[in-house]
Amino acid sequence: MTQLEKIRKAKGLSQENVAQACGVDRSTVTKWENGNFMPRAEKLPALAKFLGCTIEELLKEGDKDERRD
């Protein structure tokens, strides 16, 4: 689980909420959360502001035990 997904779920937000706030499709948020893609640099400030966190928190890697194989 990515930091983005953890933070989003902790705030009780849907992927659609995040997508609308960032001006992207929900499928893009899914790709971010699956670790397939990273948000573009220009999306990070809006994403962090919407989620009430820092960019550094969003980009932080999870614990090794939490990573999927």
Compute the average pLDDT of residues 58-62: 81
Dig out the tokens for 19 from the structure.
Answer: 């997508």
On the question of pLDDT at 8 being above 70, the answer is yes
pTM for the whole thing?
Answer: 0.83
List pLDDT tens digits, range 19-44: 999 999 999 999 999 989 999 999 99
The encoded tokens of residue 53 equal 């966190």
Angle, helices 3-10/44-51, rounded to nearest 10 degrees: 30
| pLDDT higher than threshold 50 for residue 61 | yes
